[in-house]
Structure 1
Amino acid sequence: MKPVKWGVLGAANFAKEFMARAIHAAEGAEFAAIATSDAKKAEPFQAFAPNLKVYTDYDALLADPEIEAVYIPLPNHLHVDWTVKALEAGKHVLCEKPIAMEEGEFDRLIAARDASGKLAAEAYMIVHHPQFIRAKQLVQSGVIGDLTLVDTVFSYNNAADVENIRNRPETGGGALPDIGVYIFGSARFVTGEEPTAIAHSQITRENGVDVFTQMTAEFPSFAYRGVISMRMAPRQYITFHGTKGHLTLTAPFNAGVYDVAELTLETTAGRQMERWPSANHYVLQVQNFCRSVREGTAYPCPLEFSRGTQRMIDMTISAADGA
């Protein structure tokens, strides 16, 4: 398979530490260009990709006919506009989450994707990880019986980092856009169900951004409970509890960083554990994207899936605000 040539719009730290390296490492991909307003910011990228083209203008990178796909790690409020611009320039697009800030913006994204004939997707890497593929298989097989409750938590504390874009309303900050996508999207992915109602939602805000949310939701066949925070010590897990057993992922969202990816299944037949110490969901995400571009295979996380997650975020905000 001919490698897909990638460009990155912006020299974000996350791109430098994770996604640009994943593109460089992925089979079927070539990290070929980066655009940044300051060429010095490209130097850490050139350290592991010495043949990298460097542009000091985003539009110049999009005009490069050799670049087939772009990864967009820009601040949240810029995601929709630059995704559309990249599609209109004839590029495939993988945009960092959240790709949009409200459900209605997906109309524009999907229209631009369809008009371009290119692949556009949110960089929702966890659905590419074998632990979630396995969790989906197990839950839907009925091994834990009828699913009754999904319980999930994701927290970290960045209170001291006041300049972080997650703590700034003007850049689309907040815990729900940053990590709400994980606790909501993961439950939807594994179960294949959509929420019918938000039973309870409580949101705490600081300086115009949400920093803590606790909520419960109703799905067609199970109850859901979620907590996220940017003001609590780091913690993450997701548990699927059924009538015959339960399944837990203890490092579901930052596997390999927070802890080793580990799945524990407990039923009346006993307890079993599976681990994936070396799986890199960022690399797997890029490889799946490239296969979809080259071979036309279905992509695991289309815009329609991401739209459903944003719908659940919007529902949670509306329930808390009494809208």
Structure 2
Amino acid sequence: MEKVRWGIIGLGSIANSFASVFEAENAELIAAASRSLQKAQEFTKKYNIPKAYGNYGALIHDPDVDAVYIATPNTHHISVIKRALEAGKHVFCEKAMFVNQKELDEAVALAEENNVLLAEAMTIYHMPLYKKLKQLIEDGTLGKVKMVHALFGSLKDPDPSNRFFSKELGGGALLDVGVYALSFVRYFLSSQPHNIKTVANMYPTGVDEQSSVLLKNKDDEIGTVSMAFRSKMPKMGLIVGEEGYITVNDYPRASQAILTRPDGSTENISEGSASEGLNYEIQAFTRTILTGKDETFFHLTKDVTQIMDTLSKEWGMDLSLDE
């Protein structure tokens, strides 16, 4: 294969962002599908995409499509993922990719059975800044990492009919903003946390409104996450070591960070561009398909899914959708 031909399923706001910036060497966006043919045609016309489909199956079974980007609501991810994998398509899915461990296990088995690639569209794993920060940590700049913290709070309109608060559509803070916070923390922890403690307040619709999470791994590193849907908080991450700490603001697509040393001196660290966040992940997935060198960080998606599954069960929140 010399070029990866992409299709999009689910044409909401994030799909529009994806199509508007799509640019990768040896990749082409050739198809888009919605449950409404008119919506698909309007979308493909807007972004100069050759093929429009009024149902997901038609795109999935298009022999010209190599990779499918899935941007449907959270609880509908798994049904589309499974259909695409069974059709032999590589799958790149929006976060949170899965709502529980069962879905992850089913998808992994199908991907292996059909010898195709499966990955989550998580910008945190692909921002050049984080590769640079990881290198600083490996070089000993921070000393031993002790703690990693992440905040993310969003003030959503309390409308029970909105997808953010809909249990049927995979609403709640965890699957919307919390997945970013957990991915940031897990990225910088040396190993998967084995000790998980949490408290949460639930919204009347049965999804999580706000929570705090405490994590500890075998390396005695501690991670904390605070997430909310009815209170605004900064998207701020901290990586704390014995020789200083790194502050990252707007961490989902960060390009800058500040290193603060014990004496109070600071150093600005810059790498990459926030506006290119989606393209970094598109390019990484494309390269993985073409070269076989894994740049997907899917092992971290597995770890974060496991943590989210633990949290959901602790809160008594079942977001699975019966097919």
Q: TM-score, normalised to structure 2's length? A: 0.90
CA distance in 1: counterparts of 2:149 and 2:97, whole angstroms: 25
Question: Could you say which residue in structure 2 is the equivalent of 1:274?
Answer: 269
Question: Could you say which residue in structure 1 is the equivalent of 2:229?
Answer: 230
- Alignment-mate amino acid for residue 315 of structure 1: T
CA distance in 1: counterparts of 2:216 and 2:58, whole angstroms: 47
**Which stretch shows the higher mean deviation, 46-55 or 70-79?**
46-55
Deviation, 1:65, is 0.6
- Alignment-mate amino acid for residue 296 of structure 2: P
Match of 1:283 among 264, 279, 286: 279
Instruction: Output one character per residue of 1:194-245: Cα deviation in whole Å (capped at 9) or x when no partner.
Output: 1121234233333111111112222232222210111112521110112210
SS at match of 1:253: helix
- TM-aligned CA distance change 1:298 to 1:217, over 3 Å: same
- Alignment-mate amino acid for residue 118 of structure 1: V
Q: Does structure 1 conserve the Cα–Cα contact (< 8 Å) formed by 2:188 and 2:239? A: no
Structure 2 regions of 5+ residues with no counterpart?
318-323
Deviation, 1:138, is 2.1
Instruction: Output one character per residue of 1:57-103: Cα deviation in whole Å (capped at 9) or x when no partner.
Output: 11111111111111010111111121111011111110111221111
Deviation, 1:141, is 2.9
Deviation, 1:300, is 3.0
Question: Could you say which residue in structure 2 is the equivalent of 1:258?
Answer: none
Match of 1:179 among 157, 177, 180: 177
Deviation, 1:46, is 3.0
Question: Could you say which residue in structure 2 is the equivalent of 1:314?
Answer: 309
Question: Could you say which residue in structure 2 is the equivalent of 1:122?
Answer: 120
CA distance in 1: counterparts of 2:134 and 2:199, whole angstroms: 26
Question: Could you say which residue in structure 1 is the equivalent of 2:20?
Answer: 21
Q: Tell me the matched-pair count.
A: 314
CA distance in 2: counterparts of 1:266 and 1:77, whole angstroms: 41
- Alignment-mate amino acid for residue 7 of structure 1: G
Q: Does the alignment pair 1:69 with 2:70?
A: no
Q: Does structure 2 conserve the Cα–Cα contact (< 8 Å) formed by 1:144 and 1:245? A: yes
CA distance in 2: counterparts of 1:232 and 1:294, whole angstroms: 43
- Alignment-mate amino acid for residue 263 of structure 1: A
CA distance in 2: counterparts of 1:139 and 1:159, whole angstroms: 40
Deviation, 1:51, is 4.1
**Which stretch shows the higher mean deviation, 228-237 or 270-279?**
270-279
Q: Does the alignment pair 1:295 with 2:294?
A: no
- Alignment-mate amino acid for residue 21 of structure 1: S
Q: Does structure 2 conserve the Cα–Cα contact (< 8 Å) formed by 1:201 and 1:317? A: no
Question: Could you say which residue in structure 2 is the equivalent of 1:212?
Answer: 210
**Which stretch shows the higher mean deviation, 191-200 or 223-232?**
191-200
Structure 1 regions of 5+ residues with no counterpart?
256-260
CA distance in 2: counterparts of 1:309 and 1:296, whole angstroms: 24
- TM-aligned CA distance change 1:320 to 1:148, over 3 Å: farther
CA distance in 2: counterparts of 1:167 and 1:319, whole angstroms: 19
CA distance in 1: counterparts of 2:42 and 2:233, whole angstroms: 28
Question: Could you say which residue in structure 2 is the equivalent of 1:193?
Answer: 191
CA distance in 1: counterparts of 2:92 and 2:180, whole angstroms: 17
- TM-aligned CA distance change 1:200 to 1:88, over 3 Å: closer
Deviation, 1:148, is 2.0
Question: Could you say which residue in structure 1 is the equivalent of 2:258?
Answer: 264
- TM-aligned CA distance change 1:307 to 1:51, over 3 Å: closer
**Which stretch shows the higher mean deviation, 6-15 or 192-201?**
192-201
Q: Percent identity?
A: 28
**Which stretch shows the higher mean deviation, 4-13 or 109-118?**
4-13
Question: Could you say which residue in structure 2 is the equivalent of 1:42?
Answer: 40
Q: Does structure 2 conserve the Cα–Cα contact (< 8 Å) formed by 1:28 and 1:287? A: no
Q: Does structure 2 conserve the Cα–Cα contact (< 8 Å) formed by 1:203 and 1:214? A: no
Q: TM-score, normalised to structure 1's length? A: 0.90
Ranges of 4+ aligned residues in structure 1 off by more than 6 Å: none
